[in-house]
Amino acid sequence: MFVSRYRFTRLLGSLLLAVFLVACTPSGGSMVVPPASEEPEVLVLASHDSFSISEEVLAEFETANNADVQYLALGDAGEALNKMLLSKEAPLADVMFGVDNSFLSRALKSDLFISYASPQLEGIADDLKLDASNKLLPVDFGYINLNADREWFLAQEIPLPQSLADLVLPAYKGLLVVQNPATSSPGLSFLLATIAYFGEDWPNFWAELRANDVLVTSGWSEAYFSHFTVGSGGVGNRPLVVSYSTSPPADVLYAEDGREIPASVNVNPPGGTFRQIEFVGIVKGTKKLDLARDFVDFMLSPMFQEDIPLNMFVYPALASAKLPDLFLEFAEAPTDPAQIDPADIEQNREAWIEQWTGIMLH
Amino acid sequence: MWAAAPAVFLAVFYFFPLARIFWVSFEPGGVGDTGYAPDFSYWGRILEFTIRQSVVSTMATLATGLPIAWWIHHSSGSSKKWMLSLLTVPFVMPAVVVGAAFTALVGPNGLFNQFLMSLLSLEHPPLNLLHSFTLVVIAHLFYNVSVVVRIVSNFWDQLDSRQVAAASTLGAGTWSRLWSIEFPLLLPGLLSAALLVFLFCFSSFGLVLILGGLEFTTLEVEIYRQAVSFFNLRVATALSLLQLAVTFLVMNLHTRLQSESSRPGVLAMEPESERLTQMPRPLVRFLSIFMWLAILILLSPLIALLLRSVTLGHSLFSLQHFVGLFRNSVNNAFLASPATAIGNSLKYGLAAAASSLVLGLCMTFTVHCAPKRLGHLLDPLFLLPLGTSTVTLGLGYILAMGQMRTSAWLVPIAHSLIALPFVLRILLPTIRGLSPALKEASAVLGASPLLTWWRVELPLLVPALVVALVFAFLASLGEFGATLLVARPQHPTIPLMIFRALGRPGLANLGQALALSTILMVLSASSMLLLDHLPGVSREF
């Protein structure tokens, strides 16, 4: 027995060594040797986890500029900005994409970015340009709104809610699921929309919403996939969810059952949606200023802009960019989103969230 | 000599990043200096809840785990192996999936409620567990029951059966033997299991966030809120320090108890367990059915998940979501296919298991050979990563790693860090249990210390090494929080891929997440089964 154990040890030892050697070979398989004689210049793009771009679109930029774009995913939008702030002295990236209007003030105040008046800005609507100093340039925008289960409301013969105030009516008791603004970006956006819509009276609205059996989840995924009747495939029992105006197209694109019409439908209560604008900025201290500028121009060019919708499920900032059919048919954009100043958001975010938490708990 | 490798590893990849983030947060006039300082009641409230839910969860886990451990100790053969393997599956499941599984089961529209409603012909769901303290406790029980079962049943197997036999001869009944002989002997193992479970519940994050709702905030959840949502770094790091302090104290207690309980010679090489021969056969059969039923109920969230992965979007049965995983339709510059993620998970798992085994072996010898007092300090120190906030450590990595931040090596390194405490916990009691007589005999026969180590000590450690390897592999397979912080999007793991799939609307994405979860379950169950079928391998956790 002893001898066999000893052999087993040696076997295990060599096995371990082999496994270690095989498994520890770094797997940087995506590095492609460039055809050009010159080494491609590396450009690091920091963003949130949802950044996405088609392979051939990025390849176009990389080939044209002999560049190797590396993407650093830094968590959700707020987390990514915090990490950039934390590493300001030794920047992690050359370009950062994904600061949104709710974090715009924090980003500008901290002097993290340098100005760049891209020639591409011309084609972009003025109301998206929230930073006059051009440190942060608008790339895309999306709307946080309500998604409703089309079939459910038809079957129950309940009309879709027409305004935020409707949500506290008895007819909508126990129908809505929202996200905690302290841990979820759409949750915060929806809270901001209600603050803009109800003004001073917003705490009352939430108290009534709570009495009307609103369900609060920690994040978007739980709300949409566990509780929303459409998203959960029948497991959830909430036919109304806080989501995006671009979720219905995704419901068709990722359906697998060949449905041509989304099972969910947008509810855009007047003044009760929130427009989230995402910005790109060149990080102060970059050693690749020219390439970083080229990349910003590229992000605002028609090619990248038209790639945005089906990759990130938001609308391109460039007015002339063509939208995919799915967007034209099912992602009708709200015409009058809530108006709220980024500086106000930065000033009051924490207090609002704390106040909201107090209302929902007591 | 042994200390060098793990010391350097921990210094570079653990203590240095932590020190950096602590320094930056408390630096006067730095980014952490927001002037915001919550009052005393704030800290008290969060600490109180964190400890309370951990204590209740631990008690519930013990109460459930002990009868199962008793049964497993007394049973034999393949049923024992299957029970142990299946009970370990929750261990690798990411919280986001388990949260969804629990909702699918006990939510207002969940299977339990639908069943009860049709059974009792009710109009409204009778169970309302969602976002309740009870559900948090049940989820922790689900996650940790295998810890209790493994440690306690193994401890039981290794008890000197002669004492029990003697008591039996002297006329003690089953209950009397259990209470006055076995229970006192089991106490160290029991406490060891309880402390580990307590610690897992103490640093719980995802489950509390998803299943607990607004009302319940553990230290880890609050650290996330303060660091990520509010960017109050000073408060976040102060909370992390508090968490580390409690972790250290509990671990210190744990290591003391464990070094007490594993004296040389206690460890039997061929454990003999008392079988159930004295019990009447119908009772044995009844108990067996009862235990399997209990395990089935315990694992029902996983069963619900499994069922959903083959029925979502279909009325009966379909493997569509599994086939979808291997359809290569990813046209994305930075996203890999699910198949790649499966490959990565296996690769990183093997790398992490191998490296943490080597480092863990060094650590074990360091602690074992150190003077007793130093050992009692080193052991809990090596276990600290288990109770460290991943959010805080992630921010530390941002500060400390610089350009290394994009390296593909960081994932197996981070996984090793997480797996090391398990490896140490498995190897240390075994080494302590080795009889010094063997070593002395080898020396008397003229073998050098190195030869003695290679030919005597190491072979005796093989079973424990195999267990450690598998647990390290599983720890890596299921790791989510740290992976999210260091992995490059091009090289995702299975849990990361699940997280990403659940970030987009559409049933195909949900289906992908469910199918990947099922694959994760099968991977972990089969590696545990493989482990438990290896001959002569101890099941010490």
The verdict on pTM exceeding 0.90 is: no
With CA atoms as reference, the chain A residue closest to B309 would be A233
Phi then psi for A361, rounded to 5 degrees? -95, -25
CB-CB contact of A223 with A241 (8 Å): yes
Q: Work out the percent of chain A whose per-residue pLDDT is above 90.
A: 77
pLDDT over 90 at B282, yes or no: no
The residue with greater pLDDT, A230 or B170, is: A230
Residue A164's pLDDT is 97
Can you tell me whether residue A71 is helix, strand or coil? strand
Could you tell me which residues are beta bridge partners of residue A316?
A: A140
Chain A interface, best mutation among B96, B130, B214, by max A CB count within 10 A = B214
Q: Does B393 touch chain A (CB under 8 A)?
A: no
Residue B491's pLDDT is 87
Residue B535's pLDDT is 59
- In chain B, which residues have their Cβ closer than 8 Å to the Cβ of A72? 405-406, 488
Shortest Cα distance, chain B CAs vs residue A18, angstroms: 10
Residue A155's pLDDT is 96
Q: Does B360 touch chain A (CB under 8 A)?
A: no
B425: nearest Cα among B269, B199, B231 = B199
Can you tell me whether residue B540 is helix, strand or coil? coil
What is the arithmetic mean of pLDDT over A44-51? 92
Q: How far apart are CA A243 and CA A263, in angstroms?
A: 14
Phi then psi for B199, rounded to 5 degrees? -65, -40
- What pairing do the DSSP bridges indicate for beta strands A215-217 and A137-149? unpaired
Residue A68's pLDDT is 94
The model's confidence at residue B214, banded by pLDDT at 50, 70 and 90, is confident
Could you tell me which residues are beta bridge partners of residue B267?
A: none
What is the arithmetic mean of pLDDT over A238-259? 92
- What pairing do the DSSP bridges indicate for beta strands A240-244 and A137-149? antiparallel
Over residues B216-226, the pLDDT tens digits come to 889 999 998 88
3-state secondary structure B47-116: HHHHHHHHHHHHHHHHHHHHHHHHHHHHCCHHHHHHHHHHHHHHHHCCHHHHHHHHHHHHCCCCHHHHHH
Residue A34's pLDDT is 46
As a whole number, the mean pLDDT across chain B is 84
Over residues B507-523, the pLDDT tens digits come to 889 999 999 999 999 99
What is the arithmetic mean of pLDDT over A4-19? 47
Q: How far apart are CA B477 and CA B91, in angstroms?
A: 10
Q: Does B406 touch chain A (CB under 8 A)?
A: yes
Shortest Cα distance, chain A CAs vs residue B526, angstroms: 19
Classify each residue of B386-405 as buried b or exposed e, where b means 16 or more C-beta atoms within 10 Å of its C-beta. bbbbbbbbbbbbbbbbeeeb
Phi then psi for A18, rounded to 5 degrees? -60, -45
Residue A158's pLDDT is 96
Residue with structure tokens 């320094």? Answer: B23
Residue B157's pLDDT is 78
CB contact under 8 A, B506 and A253: yes
Could you tell me which residues are beta bridge partners of residue A215?
A: A177
Calculate the alpha carbon distances from B407 to A117, B68, B292, B366, B486 in Å.
33, 44, 46, 30, 9
Over residues B147-179, the pLDDT tens digits come to 899 888 877 877 767 777 777 788 777 777 777
The residue with greater pLDDT, A27 or B337, is: B337
Residue A178's pLDDT is 97
Residue B536's pLDDT is 55
The model's confidence at residue B531, banded by pLDDT at 50, 70 and 90, is confident
- In chain A, which residues have their Cβ closer than 8 Å to the Cβ of B412? 23-24
pLDDT over 60 at B84, yes or no: yes
Over residues B114-134, the pLDDT tens digits come to 888 888 888 888 888 888 899
Residue B405's pLDDT is 67
With CA atoms as reference, the chain A residue closest to B404 would be A92
What is the arithmetic mean of pLDDT over A108-121? 95
Residue B270's pLDDT is 45
Start-to-end Cα distance in chain B: 26
As a whole number, the mean pLDDT across chain A is 89
Tell me the residues of chain B between 283 and 302 that have a Cβ less than 8 Å away from chain A. none
Instruction: Give, for A43, the enclosing helix (H) or strand (E).
Output: strand A41-47
What is the arithmetic mean of pLDDT over B395-406? 78
A281: nearest Cα among A51, A95, A68, A11 = A95
Shortest Cα distance, chain B CAs vs residue A250, angstroms: 6
ipTM: 0.86
Alpha helices in B213-299 (DSSP H): 219-224, 233-261, 281-298
Q: How far apart are CA B524 and CA B73, in angstroms?
A: 22
